Every structure is written in C-alpha cells, then in structure tokens.
Amino acid sequence: MNRLFDAKWKLAVCGLICGALAIVLAVTGNPGNMAICVACFIRDMAGSLKLHTAPVVQYYRPEIVGFVCGSFLIALATKEYRTTAGSSPVIRFLLGFIMMIGALVFLGCPLRMLIRMAAGDANAYVGLVGFAAGIGTGCLFLKKGFSLGRAHEVKAVNGVILPALLVIGLVISLTTALFASSESGPGSMRAPAILALVIALVFGALAQKSRMCFAGGLRDVFLMKDFSLLSILGGLFVALLAYNVVTGKFHFGFTGQPIAHAQHLWNILGMYAVGFAAVLAGGCPLRQLILAGQGSSDSAITFLGLLVGAAFAHNFGLAGAAAAAATETTEAVAGGPATAGKIVLVCCIAVLFIIAATNCKKADSKS
Amino acid sequence: MSQYIEVDVRGLSCPEPVMLTAAALKDNPGKALKILASEAHVRTNVEKLLKSKKVEFTSSEVGSEYEIVTK
C-alpha cells in the first residue's frame, strides 16, 4: 500500500482521479467552480450549525464528513492511524481561524483556487501569487527553526471524537430539519448527499495515501526542490482544465467569474494569509482534515479554528463579497472585503508574523 | 558511545522531520544516522529523502514507531 503513490506519475494520476471526482460533484449539483472547496464547505457547515446566520451559505456538507472519515478509515485499514496531541493546540486553533479569514476574503481555499484557475478565473491566478508568497514567507521561518513542538501519543478515543461527531451531525442533517439549510445561493446548490459522501470518502482516502496538500506542494518545491506533491495538484488541474475546455466552461478573465471578486490586493493578501498559516500549521485546510482523520487531535483543533473563523467571517462581515453585474433592479457590485474584513485580515497577517517569530529556535533534533 | 547519530523527529509536523534529517546528513558526512519517527507518512518522507540522496538504509517498525538507520 505504501508503494501506491511512490512515483510522480502515480501521484499525477491520483490528482486526475481527484479532479474527476470534483467534476462529478459539480455536475450533480455542487456550485460549478466551487465543487469541493474545503473552506466554503466548512463555512456552509458553520452556517448549518447556526454559528453564523448568512442565509445563502448554510448546509451540513457531507463532503467534510467524507474527507475526515475517508482518511480515518483508510488510516485504520493500513495501520497508519495514530492518535496524537499536544503540539501547540491553541496556536493551531488560531492558525485555522486565520486560514479561514484569508480564504473567505479571497473566496476559496487553495483547492478552490485551483478549481477557479482551471475555469479561467484570472483572479485566482492573482490569488496564487499571494499564496506562493505566503508559503515562501513560512519557508523562511522554517529555515530559521520554526516549530510548534512535538505531538505525543494519547488515548485512541481522542482521534475518534471528530469523525464520530461529524457522522452524528450528518445523520441529524439527513433525518431532521434541526440544522439550517439554504434555500438559495451556494448553500442551496448541492450534489445528492449520499453521492457527495461516497465521493468525499474516496477523495479523503486518496488524499490520505498520497499526502495531498496544496501548501505542501509549493513548500516542498521551495525548500527541497521536491515536485512530488505538486504533481498531484498538476493532475487535478489538468483534469479540471480539460473538463472546462471540452464543455465550454473555460472563460478567461477577471470579470463575470462566479463567486469571485477582482480586488487584486485583497485576493493576494487573503491567499498570502492562507499560505503563510498553512506552512506554520503543517498543511492546508484539506490536509488538516486528513490529518484529523488519521488521529491528530491538533489538526482537529485546527478544524475547530476553521469552523469558528467561518462563523466570525460571516457574523461580522469579514468575508469578501462576490462581484456582480448590474441588473434591472440592482446596481453592479465590485465585491471584495469591506473595511472590517480588510482590517482583520491585516491584523491576522501581523499575528502570523508574531507566531512565526516567537516559535523559532535553532533546529535541534534532540529537543 | 552510540554508533549512530540519533535524529529524533517523533511528533514533529511536516516538513520538519525531512529538514532535520537533511541537516543531519549534511552535518555528519560519512556517519550513520538513526532516525526515530512516529508517523507512517514521516517514515515515507524520510525514506524518500534518503533515496533521493542515494543513502542506503534499513527501516523497521519498533512498537508503534519507526526506526530508519542509514549505512
């Protein structure tokens, strides 16, 4: 099993498969160039749990349950499941929170950034500049000895809690009307729940085995000239690009892109925060879900940070607004974050520098 | 005195284990390393680094953890 993804071409094929899975979700109901966005779906989940009350982004997304549980099950099956905790959990909560603020100012996690790029959304390429710069900044601190310290093995039940809670929530979501559920907007656009769950289980398992990480892809290139993780993302991008070109959904440009805005500075800074925080946390939002599934309580805490970040982003109007063309009844909207979102994002970036600078030490393998 | 330079990367987040192993290889040319890892993916990543550097090694499970010893 460990040799399943031991070559770049195998990782690229894994990316192609994951791209195909994302396409199936988009075709069967999920928002077109959102498809399988981790930040968007955690935000929807936060809305469904009434942690925020933005009516258009509330839905208990089975995909989030599937990512975590797919990783959990494959890790158990391949004896890679290991429950650990204790590596600066509060800082990791904060990093999750900041990743979500940055992602929602940009309007998407790194996975959605790639999906948007494959659909020709030029704003996503602008976001990529910020994302790469954030990863580069994180790498500088890694070279200076940045570390959040060691995680230690803890009782096995710790690692079961998040997958179990997510499954209980899914059962409640499917069988009752307890949770909020959007009637319009992105939260109302959804693939059939069981299909979404099954696809996300497979996606989560593949992501666990391949170590898929959007921040890790660039980080490993910057630090070690290692293109392994990047080859997964290449495969994913090619699959999505091919689909969009063949079906006529590829439209290159800054305007007219679904759920996006063209405020370049804020696209760059939003993804800068995501990239920087992801390197400090040891992985992008998707990777955090996968690590949580394979037993990391620290990553489960990061997930909670993402969830609370999403609630704050919508309760206090920090998320970027999507640009919209004028209609007969409404004026054109430029989109992007409001003043509060801009201030909080800049503060978040400042906090990242403080976290990075205060957790550096001379690398010492015996500490 | 141990015949190995010990590199303990247990519990560390990516990419610290690979960076520490690479640094130990650089700082201790010609010496054998014993890398202690706790996660399967860290074991895989360290093994991949050693292969890329053409360093021979043996790798084994010790309880719930891993030991990778270079030759």
DSSP-assigned states of every residue in A283-331: S-HHHHHHHHHTTBHHHHHHHHHHHHHHHHHHHTT-SPBPPB---SSS-
Identify the DSSP state of B54.
T
| B11, B15, B64 ranked by CB distance to A151: nearest | B11
CB contact under 8 A, B20 and A365: yes
Residue A152: list chain B partners with CB under 8 A. 11
pLDDT for position A206: 96
pLDDT for position A6: 74
Cα–Cα distances in angstroms (integers) from residue B45 to residues A214, A233, A282, B6, B9, in the given order: 16, 18, 14, 17, 12
Quote the mean pLDDT of chain A: 94
More confident residue, A327 or A338: A338
More confident residue, A326 or A172: A172
pLDDT for position B2: 65
Q: What is the CATH number of the domain that holds B48?
A: 3.30.110.40
Nearest to A202 by CA among A330, A27, A14: A14
Question: How many domains is chain B partitioned into structurally?
Answer: 1
The torsion region of residue A29 among left (phi > 0), alpha (psi -120 to 50) and beta comes to left
Residue A281: list chain B partners with CB under 8 A. 13
Average pLDDT over residues B58-62: 93
Task: Locate B25 and state its tokens.
Answer: 């290889």
CB atoms within 10 A of CB B29: 6
CB contact under 8 A, A87 and B13: yes
Average pLDDT over residues B37-47: 92
Residue A363 binned pLDDT confidence (cut-offs 50, 70, 90): very low
Cβ A29 vs Cβ A188: under 8 Å? no
Residue B12: list chain A partners with CB under 8 A. 87, 147, 150-151
The torsion region of residue A225 among left (phi > 0), alpha (psi -120 to 50) and beta comes to left
Average pLDDT over residues A314-327: 91
Average pLDDT over residues B5-25: 95
Lowest mean pLDDT among A21-30, A134-143, A288-297, A318-327: A318-327
Residue B8: list chain A partners with CB under 8 A. 365-366
Q: Is the pLDDT of residue A3 over 70?
A: no
More confident residue, A4 or A213: A213
- Per residue in A89-121, pLDDT (tens digit) is 999 999 999 999 999 999 999 999 999 999 999
CB atoms within 10 A of CB A358: 9
Cβ neighbourhood burial of B9 (10 Å; 0-12, 13-18, 19+): buried
CB contact under 8 A, A82 and B41: no
pLDDT for position B1: 52
Amino acid at A25: L
Q: Is the pLDDT of residue A2 over 60?
A: no
Task: Locate B51 and state its tokens.
Answer: 């292969």
Residue A314 binned pLDDT confidence (cut-offs 50, 70, 90): very high
Domain containing residue B23: 5-70
Q: How many A×B Cβ pairs under 8 Å?
A: 70
Query: Which residues 33-62 of chain B have a CB within 8 Å of chain A?
Result: 38-41, 44-45, 48-49, 52
CB contact under 8 A, B40 and A228: no
Average pLDDT over residues A253-262: 93
Residues A190 and A84: their CA atoms lie apart, in Å, by 34
Residue B15: list chain A partners with CB under 8 A. 142, 216, 219-220, 223-224
* Host H or E run for residue A95: helix A89-106
Cβ neighbourhood burial of B57 (10 Å; 0-12, 13-18, 19+): middle
Give me the residue spans of the domains in chain A.
Answer: 8-358
Nearest to A286 by CA among A273, A274, A269, A270: A274
Cβ neighbours for A350, distance < 8 A, ≥ 6 positions apart: none
Q: What percent of chain A has pLDDT over 90?
A: 90
| B8, B12, B40 ranked by CB distance to A366: nearest | B8
